[in-house]
Amino acid sequence: MKVEVLMPKMGESLQEGTILKWLKNEGDVVERDEMILEISTDKVDTEVPSPVSGVLTQILFPENETVEVGKVIAYIETEGKAEVKPKDEANNTQEVKTAPPVTEKPEPKIEIKRDETATVSGASVVDVVMPKMGESLQEGTILKWLKKEGESVERDEMILEISTDKVDTEVPSPVSGILIQLLANEGDTVEVGKVIAKISTAEGTIVTKPAETQEHQMETPESKQDLSAQPAIPQESNQLTSNRFYSPLVKSIAKAEGISFAELDTIKGTGSEGRVTKNDVLNYLENRKKAPVAPASVSEQKKIEVSKPPIHQPQPTPLVSPSAFGAEVEIIPMDRVRQLIAEHMIYSKQTSAHVTSVAEADVTGIVKYREKHKSEFEKREGFKLTFTPFFAKAAVDGVRAFPKVNVSVDGKNIILHKRIHLSVATALEDGNLIVPVIKNADALSISGLARSVYDLSTRARSKKLNPDDVQGGTFTITNVGTFGTLFGTPVINQPQTAIMGIGAIKKRPVVKEIDGEDLIVVRHIAFVSITYDHRVIDGQLAGQCLAAIVKSLESMNENTISL
C-alpha cells in the first residue's frame, strides 16, 4: 500500500515549510516514527518522522524547496516489493531501483483480544504511538479519546487529546482507516513511543463489537498489577507534600515501590530544570538494593534543617466527603493543569525571594492612538488591537535598557540571556492559565508583537500550542487589570527572575505642569508593577527597569507609534 508523506502543519498561522535536508534516500527502508527529513518554518526548525514503516519509494521535492502545508512530499510503500520510481517518469530509459522487500503481513481476519469485545476483518494495521512533544518530554497523559473503536478516521483528523508537562494538545491520525483498537484509557500516563491505538487501512475493514461489551473498560498490563500490598505514597492532593515537580509516571513508580515524597526529594534529577525522570527513579531503586542508606550525621541534619523549610508529611487520609464541611459545599477535584499550576507557584515562592515595586504611567497617548486606529488595524490584520502589544513593547524597552533583569539562576551562577523571549500569561476558558512565549520579542515592532500575541493566545485557547511555544521565556508580562484590578503582585515564572504586572487603565485627575503652571487634568493612568527575585536583582536595578518601562509607555503617542 502506498502512503503519502505530507508537509506537516507546525502552527495555526503557518502555511508552508522549507525542506532543509532529506535524512533518507529513495529506496531506503524506514521505520515508523524514524526521522526522514528536516524542515524549517517561520517558527521552528524540526525533523519530520515517517508515518508508517516501509520503503521510501519516491521523493517529490528537493532540498531547499518551500512547500505548502498538506502537499504530498514523498511516498512510502508499506507492503510487498516496493519499486522506486525515477524522478523523471517521462524518461523510460532510466533505471528503476528495486528496494528490499518489506515482510508481508498475513491477510486473514484480525481478532482484538480485549475480552473478545471486537473482531476485525482486514489486513494492514498501523500503530498509533504516544508522540514525542518535546526533547525533554518522556511521557504524556491521555485526556480524551475523540474517536471510538470502529469509527472511520481521516489522515490528520484529530483522534485524541493528550497532556504533557509543558502543554495540552490534540494528536492527529497518521493514516486514513478504521480505528480498530484503543490500548490505553483516558487518564493513563503513557511513555513516548508506546502504542496507544491501532488503525486498519485495508479496504472493507469491518469491526464487530457485541452490544453488551461496548462500554467495557479497557485494561492494560499496568492496570492489572495488584498494588494493594505496596506501601502507599502520601496523598498528592495536599500541595504541601513536596517542593519539587514530579511527573505522573514518576509518581506512579514511587507509589508502586513505596517511595515517599521525602525520599523522592533526595533523588538528583537529570531531566529538564533538574526534574526527576523515570530513569533517575529506577537507578535510585537499583542503588538502594545494593547498599543501605547511611543515617545522616548531626551536623548534616542541621544543614538540611537550615537550608530547606520543614515539610509537613501528613499520614494518608481517606477522601474528604462533603459531610465533613456540612451540607452546603461541593468537592471539586483539581484538574491536571490546575495541579501543575499549584505546584509551580509553590515551587516559585519557595525558590525566589519575591519583592514587588509599583509605579504609575500616564498612557493617555496610547489610549487615544488605539481609539483612532483600531478600526483600520482590524480591517488590515483581521483581529482587534488590544493594549497588550503596547505594554509588551514597553517591557522589551525596559529590559533592553537594563539587561541584568533578563536573567535566570543556575545554582550559584547567573545566566544572562542575550535575547528577550517574552512570556505572556494567557487565561484559558476553563479558568486555568498558560504562558506562551514570543521568541526574540526585542526584534519585533508593535504590529509584530500584536500578531504574535494574537497567534499564541488563539492557539492556546484552542489547544494548538506546540511544546516549543511555552518554553524558553526570559521575562513575563501579565495583565492583572483585565477585570478592573489596579495592580497586583504576580508570582515569578520560574526559572525567570522578574515579571511585570499590568493594572487597569483608569481616568484620574492628576497634576500636570503646563506652561509653568500646575494644573489638574484628567488623564488615563495605569499602575505598572515589577516583581523580582531579590537573590539576583536588587531594588535599584528593578526600580531603574520599571522607570524605563514607564518612560516608554508615556512616550507612545500619535507622533511616535508606528503600526
* Closest CA relative to residue 8, chosen from 47, 34, 57: 47
How many whole angstroms separate alpha carbon 294 and alpha carbon 561? 66
- Report whether 193 contacts 31 (CB < 8 A): no
Helices 248-257 + 278-290 axis angle, to 10: 20
* Closest CA relative to residue 548, chosen from 487, 485, 498: 498
Torsion sign, CA atoms 439, 442, 444, 449: positive
Instruction: Determine whether 534 is an active site residue.
Output: yes
* Closest CA relative to residue 526, chosen from 540, 505, 543: 505
Instruction: Determine whether 127 is an active site residue.
Output: no
How many whole angstroms separate alpha carbon 238 and alpha carbon 342? 10
Cell of 271: 531531566
Which whole-number Å values give the CA distances from 490 to 149, 343, 423, in the listed order? 45, 15, 13
DSSP helix/strand/coil, 440: coil
At 202, give phi and psi (nearest 5°). Answer: -70, 145
At 483, give phi and psi (nearest 5°). Answer: -110, 25
Which whole-number Å values give the CA distances from 131 to 128, 138, 545, 548, in the listed order? 9, 9, 42, 44
Q: Exposure string (b/e) for 135-172, b if CB count within 10 Å is 16 or more?
A: ebbbbbbbbebbbebbeebebbeebbbbbbbbbbbbbb
Which whole-number Å values give the CA distances from 320 to 329, 438, 526, 558, in the listed order? 12, 42, 44, 59
First to last CA, the chain: 52
Cell of 493: 515564572
| Per annotation, catalytic residue among 42, 115, 410, 538 | 538
At 212, give phi and psi (nearest 5°). Answer: -70, -10
How many whole angstroms separate alpha carbon 182 and alpha carbon 209? 13
Amino acid in position 433: L
| Peptide bond preceding 495 in cis form (omega within 30 of 0) | yes
Torsion sign, CA atoms 70, 76, 77, 82: positive
Q: Cell numbers 509516571 label which residue?
A: 249
| Per annotation, catalytic residue among 42, 115, 410, 534 | 534
Cell of 379: 480591517
Active site residues: 534, 538
